[in-house]
C-alpha cells in the first residue's frame, strides 16, 4: 500500500479507502462485510469511509464492530452527515443542532472516541454557512473530529467554506466527489480550486458503480447478484450508466487493461490515481477477492499514451459538465 498526504495537512491516508456505501447493512450480509474489512486491513488499507445515512446507521455500526479490535491510532476513520436520519424537521442538514447531535450518534455507532475526518455530505442551502462551519469548529475543538471535509460541493462553495474554516482555525482538508474515467465533472473547476486552497479529493465511485469493471455487457441482462440487480437501492444508482453506447466502449478497454497488466477494475482505479489532487479512491466490495484485486492498482503509473487512449475511447460517453456537481436545494 502507498499513502498520500490529505490536503495541506500532515494526515496520511491510504491510496485506497475502503467504503461501505450501499454494501454494508443492505447489499452485503454482516459476515461478508466484516470479511471484506479484514481483507482491506490485510492489504494495508488504513482509511475507512462511511456515513450516518448509509443503511440508516447500520453501515457505521457494522464498520465499528469490524474495526473494534484494531489499534485505533493505526486507522483513519471518516464519516459524514447531511441526509435525513429521522422524521423530525431538524433530523437532516447542517444546522448546529444536527451537526452536534449527529457526531455523537456516529461516534456511538462506530464505537470510537473521535473520527479522523468529519464531512458535510452535501451543501446545505437552508443553513447559513457560518453556522455550519462554527459547529464543525466546535466538533474539532471538542476532540470529536481531527479534520473536516466536504462532499459534492461546487468550487465556489468550497472557497467560501475554506475562508470561514481559516478564520475559525479549523483544518478543512478534503472534498469527496464522484470521479471516474466516465465522470470527470470536477476537473474543470473543483480540482483547480482545491489545488489552490490546499484540499485533496477522496473520490467515490471510481469504478462508475462497477460499470468500468466490464462485467456489464451490452445487450445482456446484468449478472445475478450485481449492484444492478439490487432492489434495496443499488440498482437506482447504476441505471443511467447501463446504456449500450457506454457498455460497448467500456468493453473496448480490455486490451488496454491487458497491456497495463491490470484487471478492468485495476485500470479504472489506476486511471483515477494518476490525478495528483486525488489523495485516495474509495472502493467497496461484496467479496474479499475484489479488495485484493483492487489493491493491485496501487502505485501503478500508467503509460501516458495508454491513458490518452482511455480518455479518447471514453470521451463520447464521459460526463464533464461542472454544473452536474450540485446539492439538493429544497427551496428551488
Q: Which residues are catalytic?
A: 54
- Residue at grid coordinates 429544497: 330
157, 126 contact by CB (below 8 A): no
> For the chain, what's the residue count?
332
CA nearest neighbour of 243 among 262, 212, 266, 218 = 218
| Residues 139/104, Cβ–Cβ less than 8 Å | no
Q: How many CB atoms lie within 10 A of CB 322?
A: 15
Spatial separation of the C-alpha atoms in residues 17 and 46, rounded to whole Å: 7
Report the candidate in 251, 250, 301, 296 with the shortest Cα–Cα distance to residue 271: 301
Residue pair 50/301 in contact (Cβ under 8 Å)? The answer is no
Gap between the Cα atoms of 273 and 137, Å rounded: 30
Distance between CA atoms of residues 297 and 261, nearest Å: 10
Amino acid at each position: 500500500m502507498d499513502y498520500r498526504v490529505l490536503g495541506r495537512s500532515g494526515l496520511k491516508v491510504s491510496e485506497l479507502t475502503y467504503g461501505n456505501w450501499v454494501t454494508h447493512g443492505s447489499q452485503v450480509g454482516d459476515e461478508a462485510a466484516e470479511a471484506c474489512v479484514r481483507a482491506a486491513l490485510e492489504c494495508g488499507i488504513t482509511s475507512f469511509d462511511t456515513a450516518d445515512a448509509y443503511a440508516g446507521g447500520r453501515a457505521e455500526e457494522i464498520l465499528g464492530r469490524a474495526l473494534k479490535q484494531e489499534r485505533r491510532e493505526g486507522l483513519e476513520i471518516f464519516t459524514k452527515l447531511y441526509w435525513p436520519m429521522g422524521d423530525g424537521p431538524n433530523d437532516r442538514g447542517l444546522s448546529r443542532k444536527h451537526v452536534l447531535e449527529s457526531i455523537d450518534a456516529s461516534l456511538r455507532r462506530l464505537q470510537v472516541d473521535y473520527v479522523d475526518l468529519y464531512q458535510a455530505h452535501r451543501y446545505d442551502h437552508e443553513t447559513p454557512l457560518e453556522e455550519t462551519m462554527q459547529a464543525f469548529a466546535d466538533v474539532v475543538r471538542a476532540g470529536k473530529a481531527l479534520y473536516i471535509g466536504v462532499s459534492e460541493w461546487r468550487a465556489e462553495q468550497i472557497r467560501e467554506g475554506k475562508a470561514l474554516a481559516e478564520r475559525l482555525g479549523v483544518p478543512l482538508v478534503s472534498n469527496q466527489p464522484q470521479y471516474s474515467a466516465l465522470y470527470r465533472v470536477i476537473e474543470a473547476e473543483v480540482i483547480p480550486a482545491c489545488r489552490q486552497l490546499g484540499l485533496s479529493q477522496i473520490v467515490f465511485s471510481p469504478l462508475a458503480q462497477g460499470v468500468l469493471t466490464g462485467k456489464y455487457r451490452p445487450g445482456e441482462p446484468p449478472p445475478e447478484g450485481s449492484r444492478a440487480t439490487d432492489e434495496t437501492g443499488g440498482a437506482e444508482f447504476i441505471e443511467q450508466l447501463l446504456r449500450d453506447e457506454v457498455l460497448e466502449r467500456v468493453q473496448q478497454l480490455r486490451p488496454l487493461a491487458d497491456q497495463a497488466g491490470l484487471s478492468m477494475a485495476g485500470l479504472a482505479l489506476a486511471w483515477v490515481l494518476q490525478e495528483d489532487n486525488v489523495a485516495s479512491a474509495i472502493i467497496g466490495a461484496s467479496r474479499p477477492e475484489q479488495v485484493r484485486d483492487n489493491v493491485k492498482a496501487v502505485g501503478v503509473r500508467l503509460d501516458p499514451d495508454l491513458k490518452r487512449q482511455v480518455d479518447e475511447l471514453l470521451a463520447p460517453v464521459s460526463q464533464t459538465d461542472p454544473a452536474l456537481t450540485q446539492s439538493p436545494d429544497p427551496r428551488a
